Amino acid sequence: MTWATDVLVVGGGPIGLAAAIEARLAGFEATIVEPREGVIDKACGEGLMPGAVAALDRLGVQPRGFALRGVDYRDGRRSAQHRFARESGLGVRRTTLHRALLERAEALGVTRVTDRVEAVEQDADGVSAAGIRARWLLAADGLHSDVARLSGLHRQTPAARRRFGLRRHYSVEPWSELIEVHWTPLGELYVTPNGDDTVGLALLARRGVRFEEALAAAPELAARVRDAEPMSELRGAGPLRQRTRARTRGRVLLVGDASGYVDALTGEGIRIGLAQAHAAVDAIAHGATAAYESAWREVTRDFRQLTGALVRVADSPARRVVVPLAHAAPVLFGAAVERLAR
């Protein structure tokens, strides 16, 4: 049988590129199918946890950014801070991260095809999509994964639990080396320095909440960027909550946001996606996709449990006590941050 590639990766974002890099490092030929060309931007918090920085380094990717020393929850009256116990995180523009991964993938010989997947066909020996035959398909095509839908793995998310993200950059010198999360009555504002003169602000909230209104609800933060020049247009993403029935079907494996997602509140999307990409390639290297299902549950357990619980609180009247409780119990707050950061 003639194969076009060993591993076909659908989706050329950071996790798709990481999956292709993992495949090449494992000795597979890898091809990425992505309808967009060049460097791809996306609305996200742009804060990499220490575990994500370490995972990128293992792949041979070291993007330039701003060292992040910890996390700071704020509500205008109180602050709950925790500094990472070991390594630092990294604030890095999404485009900078994507470019670094793209260059590494190209250096390793990953093939890129500009196309969109409209059908997925598979049998006992292989899988075909976008006219390419492969032994395995890794779907990394994001929150609204076509492959998850075409493979029958997507599950409908209740409308009542849908949250969205908005992001904008400002030209201003960072005032903190911590990732700030400002809890306002309208939503959470995630503040990430990603350069010596750039700060990114991301809003996480229900549909209909305007960025300017949420920023005004955090007067301290609003004052810091009031005279700063916006460096990017307002960009949105969502709904963030996505569910899947399973992470594998035959020779198709879902990785990153395509495999299911809780929320961006704890800033773990990249770290979790990198861990999934590694686990998926390890599973196919051993010819055992069932192993990926259990590995996926293992690497996402803390994220699903802790982030899920925090989002449920954020969607309830109890959200007003999040920062006071974190302030009053710094040991527990720090332990939760460390579990999510590693």
Q: What is the pLDDT of residues 54-96, one digit of tens each?
A: 999 999 999 999 999 999 999 988 999 999 998 999 999 999 9
Q: What is the DSSP string of 91-114?
A: E--HHHHHHHHHHHHHHTT-EEE-
CA distance 79 to 294: 38
pTM of the model: 0.94
Q: What is the DSSP string of 199-218?
A: EEEEEEE-TT--HHHHHHTS
Q: In the prediction, which pLDDT does 3 show?
A: 65
CA distance 322 to 305: 16
CA distance 260 to 240: 9
Q: In the prediction, which pLDDT does 60 show?
A: 97
Q: What is the pLDDT of residues 89-129, one digit of tens each?
A: 999 999 999 999 999 999 999 999 999 999 999 999 999 99
Residues 297, 244: contact at Cβ < 8 Å? no
Q: In the prediction, which pLDDT does 1 show?
A: 44
Q: In the prediction, which pLDDT does 318 show?
A: 86
How is the chain split among helix, strand and coil, in percent rounded to 5? Answer: 35, 25, 35
Which two three-digit tokens encode residue 124? 């006992």
Q: Which CATH architecture has domain 5-46+59-65+90-159+240-315?
A: 3-Layer(bba) Sandwich (3.50)
What is the sign of the dihedral through the CA atoms of 100, 102, 105 and 107?
A: negative
- Residue % of the chain over a pLDDT of 70: 99
Q: In the prediction, which pLDDT does 304 show?
A: 86
Which two three-digit tokens encode residue 28? 């597979």
Which residues in the chain show pLDDT less than 70?
Answer: 1-3, 160-161
Q: In the prediction, which pLDDT does 2 show?
A: 53
CA distance 200 to 192: 5
CA distance 311 to 125: 42
Three-state DSSP state, 232: coil
CA 316 to chain centre: 24
